[in-house]
Chain A
Amino acid sequence: MTSVTLLVLGAVAIFILSPGAKTFGHYFLNPTIFADTFFGNSAKNLDPMWQAFIKNIEMCLAAEPLVLIWALPVALLRNSPSPLLAGPRLVATAYVDLARGVPLVLVVYAVYFGLPSLNLPFISDRTWFQYGLFCLVFCYGAYVSEVYRAGVQSVPYSQTLAGQAIGLTPFQLNRYVTIPQALRIVVAPLINDFVSLQKDTAIIGIGAGIIEVLKAAQISQGVFFNDTCYVAAGVLFLIICVPLTRLADALQARDQRARLAGAR
């Protein structure tokens, strides 16, 4: 406990006692700029940053259900042993590798600049918001499908045997035995992915078009020539993310206790 306190105090001391502390404070921790950025400044024609943050929240709330739905068939395909599905399974695996391997920011560039230039009906005339959703669902669908897959695989094989033993069809086995048990296991990891997705909505603004929180911070930075606006953006994300991570931890701990209590 005391050693932790010492470490924290030490870190704070480095900032306070460093030769550039005053300059750092002025450019990163400026209360006036923080307030002007956060609540807006009509004299400077600057909109409040929390309004831009609503765009981020909209994006992540719209993307998350789509991610949860889209990831399910991907995971089931990847887990299916059927030789009939070998082709689709290969496509699903290739998709997961691609979407997990390419940084979101590159996907954003590819979609924002690539899709409109194709000049296709429907595909090329979507809104920025829809393109953003597509990027998020594309990337996070792959992550979440792997979470599902791990969840299904962590249900013991003995449960499959027990379900088969009472004459369930493969579909019923998934529906009543495997998936309900897998869902309990994956709730906490899913919240973790949701937290990541919520943060990564900031990347969508890089592409252009949408004034979300990172964009708003860049605009504010251009007005004040001060980096406190980025700190303000960080604070906004923390307000959402910290409670969610706490929730994920609590659920994980609960799940752990349930398993130790003797659920086989």
Chain B
Amino acid sequence: MADTIVTLDEVVKRFGDREVLSGVTLSVTRGQVVCLIGASGSGKSTLLRCCNKLEDIDGGTISVFGTDLSGDDVRGELVRRHIGIVFQSFNLFPHRTVLDNITMGPRRALKMVKATAEATALDLLTQFGLAEKAKDYPDRLSGGQQQRVAIIRALAMDPELLLLDEITSALDPELVGEVLDAVRDLARSGMTMILATHEIAFARDVADLVVFLEGGRIVESGPPEQVLVEPREAATRRFLSRYLGDAPT
């Protein structure tokens, strides 16, 4: 039996009157790469944000590493120290250098000593080919570089789970490749990841499980060969044909 680290059971999330998630049930095991696909507004981002308690849920339960996140006594910041998240718009701290962006979490949240945090950060920067950018401010970097720094910032916390929220959607097309390559390497290294993405080909390549969302519900989920190649549901086929054009489905 694989080690289940995330369990969502009938999760409901509302923003005011609008129900964004209407009973989502999903479980993720260690080392699994789960791709959430679906149109904008289908609830992908909200689902990710519920997994690290950036959003509180209105119904159902979420448990991550055995902790029930729906409890009022659960402090979000403690949950988030084990779960990295990377956003569509990078969200680097513009007033801090690349190195400081990466070490802030380890130093402040994890109380790591400065030298250790910086050594770890520099290792990661080297691994991602960004070592020479350590002392630069984020506005000196290209979008692709900024997004890779954002990934490193999340990895520096040594997370057991990484959430990636459409991390290539704000990038120029020629910069998408470098970011996806970084994610592919992470997947190979065994990192557990849930990613919301519009990159269908990429999802087919890296995903262990593909989940198609529509209107806050899971319409279909399964291995990529099934959901992306021979979808059972008409809604999935419609979505894919819109995204892939004439590609065979």
**A residues apposed to B, CB below 8 Å:** 158-159, 161-170, 172, 176-177, 180-181, 184, 261-264
Contacts and interface: CB of A to CB of B under 8 A. Distances in A.
A161 B80 contact: no
Contact of B91 (A158, A180, A184, A261): A158
B108 A176 contact: yes
A113 to B, nearest CB: 48
Contacts of B80: 164-167
A263 B89 CA distance: 12
Contacts, number: 72
Contacts of A166: 80, 104-105, 108-109, 153-154, 157
Contact of B93 (A159, A169, A170): A159
B169 to A, nearest CB: 14
Interface in B136-151: 137-139
Contacts of A170: 77
A165 B137 CA distance: 20
A186 to B, nearest CB: 14
Contacts of B77: 164, 167-170
Interface of B: 52, 54, 76-78, 80-81, 84-85, 87, 89-95, 104-105, 108-110, 137-139, 153-154, 157
30 contacts: A158-B89, A159-B91, A161-B54, A161-B87, A162-B92, A163-B93, A164-B54, A164-B80, A165-B52, A166-B105, A166-B108, A166-B109, A166-B154, A167-B77, A167-B105, A167-B110, A169-B77, A169-B109, A172-B108, A176-B104, A177-B93, A180-B95, A181-B93, A181-B95, A263-B94, A263-B137, A263-B139, A264-B90, A264-B91, A264-B139
A260 to B, nearest CB: 10
Contact of B81 (A162, A163, A167): A167
A184 B85 CA distance: 27
A161 B91 contact: yes
B230 to A, nearest CB: 37
Contacts of A164: 54, 76-77, 80
Given A158-B91, A159-B91, A168 B139 contact: no
Given A159-B91, A159-B93, A165-B154, A261 B81 contact: no
A180 B110 CA distance: 21
